[in-house]
Amino acid sequence: MDKWLLDLIHENQGDGLILYVFLTATIAALLSFFIGLERQLRGEAAGVRTHSLMALGSSLLMTLSIWAIRMADGSIDIVNGTMSADLNYDTSRIAAAVITGIGFLGGGVIVRDKFSVKGLATASTLWICTAIGLACGSGFVLEAVIFTVLTLVLLIILGRLLDFIDDKRPFVILKSAPDFAIAERARDICEANGLELKVVRIIGCDDESVTARVIFIHGTTENAMRYFSHLICRENGVEVIEDNKNHKNEK
């Protein structure tokens, strides 16, 4: 497959390069679409469009880095199928700049919370999609497909494993009015009272209420969870509807 795509460049009196760019960019965007879909289904801010656009752009830039400049300086003649063995520039410079630039976008999806850091996995998938785009732009489409499959396998398997681990952690499920900042208030209570919180996840939301799962670190005692439940239930309109100690508390 890789050889067939590269052979397109020397065919059809130069029109093969147009087809090459179209196919490699489309494949890069499609592969990254599936990675972005997994992120979007997990509620991350960077989803299908962001990942696909990252791969699409990096694929085009890599193609320009390898072929367009060589055509401009005359080291390659696509129409006649001739290519000079001498290169007057480094074909990896644009790719290196792309990898550097992705750091700014990756940093934008990483959020430092009071108790944790969110967005690291999404920043990693953006970085991987950039690599997939660079690989496709270089003509290594089969390798890009393989790494896309490996990335999806890791995301899905590890995601389910982490969900399983979180289900085993001590947790409390809260219900509040939709205009109440339940996640922020839960974090404030834990911070003020020395309770170690893992994460707060919104698991349900409608016009009448918001439901959140407050997950504590392993080793949090039952008394600590009861104390948290007592404090949070003092807030107006907040109730504890479930915890994994099978206790139910209501305001």
> Residue 204: helix, strand or coil by DSSP?
strand
Q: Check whether residue 220 and residue 193 sit in a common domain.
A: yes
Contacts of residue 211, Cβ cutoff 8 Å, sequence gap at least 6: 173, 174, 175, 202, 203, 204, 205, 241
- Is there a single domain that holds both residue 47 and residue 96? yes
Residue 248 domain-assigned?
A: no
Looking at the fold, whether 181 and 145 belong to one and the same domain comes out as no
User: Token pair for residue 32?
Assistant: 């990254």
CA dihedral 173, 175, 176, 180 (to 10 degrees): 30
Closest CA relative to residue 220, chosen from 186, 250, 244, 187: 244
Q: Does a structural domain hold residue 104? A: yes
Note whether 5 and 139 are within 8 A (CB): yes
User: What is residue 147's predicted lDDT score, i.e. its pLDDT?
Assistant: 93
Residue 22 lies in a domain: yes
Residue 195 lies in a domain: yes
Compute how many other C-beta atoms are within 10 angstroms of the C-beta atom of residue 19.
14
| 157, part of any domain | yes
Per-residue confidence (pLDDT) for residue 119, from 0 to 100 = 78
- Of 139, 165, 191, the position where a domain reaches its end is 165
| 35 lies in the same domain as 118 | yes
Shared domain check, 13 and 107: yes
Q: Is the dihedral of CA 49, 51, 54, 60 positive or negative?
A: negative
The answer to whether the CB of 243 falls within 8 A of the CB of 225 is yes
Is residue 59 one of the residues assigned to a domain?
yes
Does residue 141 share a domain with residue 212? no
CA distances from 142 to 17, 30, 58, 65, 210 (A): 19, 13, 17, 20, 45
Residue 81 shares a structural domain with residue 154:
yes
Q: What is the CATH number of the domain that holds 223?
A: 3.30.70.260
Residue 247 has φ and ψ, to the nearest 5°, of -105, 150
Q: Is residue 150 in some structural domain?
A: yes
- Residue 250: the pLDDT is 42
Q: Are 40 and 130 part of one and the same domain?
A: yes
- The CA distance from 59 to 78, in Å, is 20
Domain shared by 157 and 184, yes or no: no
Whether 11 and 68 share a structural domain: yes
pLDDT one digit per residue (tens) for the chain, 251 residues: 667 776 666 665 556 777 888 889 999 999 999 999 988 887 777 789 989 999 999 998 888 888 776 666 556 655 555 555 455 566 677 888 888 888 887 777 777 655 556 778 888 899 999 999 999 988 899 999 999 999 999 998 988 887 777 777 888 888 888 878 888 888 888 888 888 888 787 778 888 888 888 888 878 888 888 888 888 888 877 888 777 655 444 44
Query: Which of these three, 130, 165, 200, is where a domain ends?
Result: 165
What is the domain extent for residue 33?
2-165
Output the pLDDT for position 116: 57
User: What is the DSSP code string of 95-131?
Assistant: HHHHHHHHHHHHHHT-EE-SS-EE-HHHHHHHHHHHH
Question: Which residues neighbour 65 within 8 Å (Cβ) at sequence distance 6 or greater?
Answer: 91, 92, 93, 94, 95, 137
Residues 97 and 195 in one domain: no
Indicate the pTM of the whole model.
0.68
| CA-based nearest residue to 225, from 200, 211, 244 | 244
Which of 141, 165, 189 is at the close of a domain?
A: 165
Provide the domain count of the chain: 2
